[in-house]
Amino acid sequence: GAGVSQSPRYKVAKRGQDVALRCDPISGHVSLFWYQQALGQGPEFLTYFQNEAQLDKSGLPSDRFFAERPEGSVSTLKIQRTQQEDSAVYLCASTRQGAGNTGELFFGEGSRLTVL
Amino acid sequence: GESVGLHLPTLSVQEGDNSIINCAYSNSASDYFIWYKQESGKGPQFIIDIRSNMDKRQGQRVTVLLNKTVKHLSLQIAATQPGDSAVYFCAETFTGGGNKLTFGTGTQLKVEL
């Protein structure tokens, strides 16, 4: 498709389980971002990649969160030993801009994670 | 789906009226600003952007105003339609910041028929 694609759209996990969320950015987009959006709040930055390099992971809330983009295209956000406070929508965004420039970010529909 | 706008400030307008949504940004170094629209169950959708060398930018039915002195942004929607009902977020970033966006508190826009 032409837009950013995320899967799964909905994920229910039991506390302590590991989850993996996938993002397919727009083809050719250099930069890819992960955001976390709690209910009723704006998205908050987690991490971003320029091609396969993870340039900033300052927003990851704990070492249970891990993101990768090994070939500079598809990215996976992994959350280990999920906790209830991890429940949120995880948004992926991509842009054709590299790290030194600003430009429009295109967001996916998000993956809604519910931890029971 | 669940409401994105739960607990957010709400602006109610009549269909056909103009809407003005305000946003205060935090970083005086920010030089690129974007308004996003988010409908329930969907990701944020780009509406319009503005760079800090401009005070005003117009799109189709939308205008963004930037006041750098008081670090304030506004989004004006002309002739508001029911399809404009959504949560609106402003976001800021700065050149060299890796395009990392900081989102403001959203505003729920409700259009009444």
Q: Is the pLDDT of residue B2 over 50?
A: no
Give the whole-angstrom CA distance, residue A95 versus residue A25: 8
B58-113 pLDDT tens trace = 999 999 999 999 999 999 999 999 999 999 999 999 887 778 899 988 999 999 98
A46-55 pLDDT tens trace = 999 999 999 9
Residue partners of A1: CB distance under 8 A and separation at least 6: none
B20-56 pLDDT tens trace = 999 999 899 999 999 999 999 999 999 999 999 999 9
DSSP string, B2-52: --TTTTS-EEEEETTS-EEEEEE---TT--EEEEEEE-TTS--EEEEEEET
Q: Is the pLDDT of residue B5 over 70?
A: no
Q: Does residue B31 sit at the A interface (CB-CB below 8 Å)?
A: yes
Q: How much is the pLDDT for B98? A: 75
Q: Does residue B26 sit at the A interface (CB-CB below 8 Å)?
A: no
Return residues 80-99 of B near A (CB < 8 Å): 89, 91, 93-99
Q: Determine which of B25, B38, B50, B99 to mutate to test the interface with A (most A C-beta atoms within 10 Å).
A: B99
Nearest to A105 among B4, B51, B101 (CB): B101
* Residue A52 contacts residue A70 (beta carbons within 8 Å): yes
Beta bridge partners of A11: A113
**Which residues of chain A carry a pLDDT beneath 70?**
1, 99-100
DSSP string, B71-111: TEEEEEESS--GGG-EEEEEEEE-TTTTT--EE---EEEEE
